[in-house]
Amino acid sequence: MNDIIELKTWQGDTVAFEDAVIGSGAMKDVCFSPDRSYVIGFFRDPQGAAARERLRVICEDYREGIFGQVGGDYWRELFCWPTGVVEHEGRVGVVAPAYAPQFFFEYGSANNDMLGIKGREKEGKWFASANNQARFLDPRERGDWLNYLRICMRIARAVRRMHAAGLAHSDLSYKNVLVDPRSGSACIIDLDGLVVPGKYPPEVVGTPDFIAPEVVMTAHLPHDSPARKLPCIATDRHALAVLIYMYLLYRHPLRGGKVHDPDPSQDETLSMGERALFVEHAHDFSNRIRVADARPSELPWCDTQRMPYTLTGPYLAPLFARAFTDGLRDPRARPSAEDWEFALVRTADLILPCANRGCVQGWFVFDNRRAPSCPFCGTPYPGALPVLNFYSSRHGDSFRPDDQRLMVYTNQSLFEWHVNRHLAPNERLTEAQKVRVGYFVFHQGTWWLVNERLPHCRDLSAGRDIAVGERVALRDGLQLLLSRESGGRLALVQMAGGG
């Protein structure tokens, strides 16, 4: 049995830990609490006055600002936020919740768990490349494309909340985000080094693959040089774009075939810094990934002709283009976390299940420009599918397009945020607003919307109300008024596919 040591946090709470190190990172040694509900990470190096004050405000002021507000409980699943600070035998320690069970590998890696990952944390690096997934992961751990979309949505939402509080992570990467593709869950970790611009500077420059080009370009300058660029909200935005690209396309957006210098170290600095170039740049093809040199485990994802970033749909593709063209040189041009969240939510409404039950990805985005066909396995979707194009009125005026659509498939749900443009599926929703208001079903050759909770649903084409409990057949050109409230929407049905 390990000794149990009790301590008082700076915040006045009693905590305890087992006197045995269960893991070590770059800066801390970690011990479990007796009931395994939380951990304490002890810094190996002494923490100065500024570092101590940073830890205090993260555990008190900023924690209260995020978790102490209405809807604060929502963030407990998305952040592993420190709850207190302790000192023991001259070392400062940070108390934080233990990771949720879904963030540990249930199954070992390939070849009888040759990597010994069973029971270990699900660092995002295992899932962010086609090579790692194909060579090392049990297929039961990989998840499907819809869940990667959900993972990206949750990461973007969490980063948006951090940035709204004036905080930057400074080391946003697949090492500091735990993911579970089986459930679509994500959790940002290592939050004890958060950056407050102008007050608490960054302690690290970041993780290779995710460091913004301006940081790489100026890393050789003295730390206090005014010309040196340090991690901040703008560099988080670069890292977030890289994360989303890698989780949806399983390759890095800047690591192509172009060689800038025969010295590997100098080539790395140039390709990630001064000469960074998007592997799918619209006009400069010099950094395309060389498919002929790829490992079999990297295919087909490294083939940007077969798997272009545009397969992510009409909302995400323009953000990738912004982030990795203008945004590489001009941090102000980078999409914000809110931009990504907005695009991911709308992309989720365009998702379709692949008709091929053997498709590894299982889902794909319908982009409204072609007949539905899975880009991952090439299977076309049989038959016609309804698309609801949403319109809403402004100040009593005529209905205007909202640039939002909902792809219909069997058992697809209709929610309040589809019915009213003032709502979004985020932490602000009440429990009542999370309940679906209708669903879609294909029955005897006809697509139907079943009204479950829409008191004012009306078929404008036929001039009749659709009462709660009734259904309405979906046909091309059908106009459905979903709500008469402020922000209420009109849905215009368009039939896609079917030959």
Which range (133-142, 171-180, 207-216, 259-268) has the least confidence? 133-142
Do β-strands 91-97 and 84-88 pair in parallel, antiparallel, or remain unpaired?
Answer: antiparallel
Percent of the chain at pLDDT exceeding 90: 81
Provide DSSP, 94-116: EEEEPPPGGGB-SS--HHHHTT-
pLDDT over threshold 80, residue 161? yes
Dist. CA 128–CA 376, nearest whole Å: 17
Sign of the C-alpha dihedral computed for residues 469, 475, 476 and 478 taken in this order: negative
Q: At residue 112, does pLDDT exceed 80?
A: no
Banded model confidence at residue 369, pLDDT cuts 50, 70, 90: low
Cite the beta strand spans of 44-165 per DSSP E: 84-88, 91-97
Give the confidence band of 200 by pLDDT, cuts at 50, 70, 90: confident
pLDDT confidence bin for 27, thresholds 50/70/90:
confident
What is the per-residue pLDDT across 464-494, written as a single tens digit (0 to 9) for each?
999 999 999 999 999 999 999 989 999 999 9
Looking at the DSSP bridge assignments, the partners of residue 450 are 439, 471
Residue 185, beta-bridge partner list = 180
Contact 126, 245 (CB under 8 A): no
pLDDT exceeds 80 at position 169: yes
Tell me the sheet residues that pair with 464.
459
Report the C-alpha gap between 247 and 151 in whole angstroms.
8
* Predicted pLDDT of residue 148: 98
Q: Give 3-state DSSP helix, strand, coil % of the chain, rounded to 5.
A: 30, 25, 50
Q: Please identify which residue in the block is written with the tokens 């007949």.
A: 371
User: Which among 10, 28, 361 is positioned nearest to 181, based on CA atoms?
Assistant: 361
Calculate what percentage of the chain has a pLDDT beyond 70.
98
Q: How far is CA 309 from CA 190, 202, 279, 281, 360, in A?
A: 30, 32, 10, 10, 18
Give the chain's mean pLDDT. 93
Q: What is the C-alpha to C-alpha distance for residues 414 and 436, in angstroms, rounded to an integer?
A: 6
pLDDT tens track for 183-196: 999 999 999 989 98
Is cis: bond before 300, omega within 30 of 0?
yes
- The model's confidence at residue 215, banded by pLDDT at 50, 70 and 90, is very high
Six token digits for residue 329: 């040189």
Enter the pTM of the model.
0.95
Q: What is the pLDDT of residue 333?
A: 97
Spatial separation of the C-alpha atoms in residues 112 and 99, rounded to whole Å: 25
The yes-or-no verdict on residue 461 having pLDDT over 80 is yes
Count of positions (residues) in the chain: 499
Q: DSSP 3-state assignment of 414?
A: strand
The string of pLDDT tens digits covering residues 384-432 is 899 999 999 877 668 899 999 999 999 999 999 999 999 999 999 999 9
Q: Each residue of 249-290: pLDDT tens digit?
A: 999 999 999 999 999 999 999 999 999 999 999 999 999 999
What integer pLDDT is reported at residue 1 of this predicted model? 62
pLDDT value at position 389?
A: 97
What span, in angstroms and rounded, lies between the C-alpha atoms of 249 and 92?
A: 40
CA 45, CA 40: separation in Å to the nearest integer? 15
For residue 289, give every residue at least 6 positions away whose Cβ sits within 8 Å of its Cβ, in sequence order, or none.
Answer: 251, 255, 256, 257, 279, 302, 303, 304
- Residue 66 — φ and ψ, nearest 5°? -95, -45
Residues 6+ apart with CB under 8 A from 156: 240, 244, 337, 338, 340, 341, 344
As beta bridge partners, residue 401 has 391
Q: Which residue shows structure tokens 């023991």?
A: 88
**Average pLDDT value for residue range 121-127:** 92
Domains of the chain: 4-98 (3.30.200), 103-348 (1.10.510.10), 383-497 (2.60.200.20)
The pLDDT tens digits for 281-313 are 999 999 999 999 999 999 999 999 999 999 999
What pLDDT is stored for residue 498 in this prediction?
66
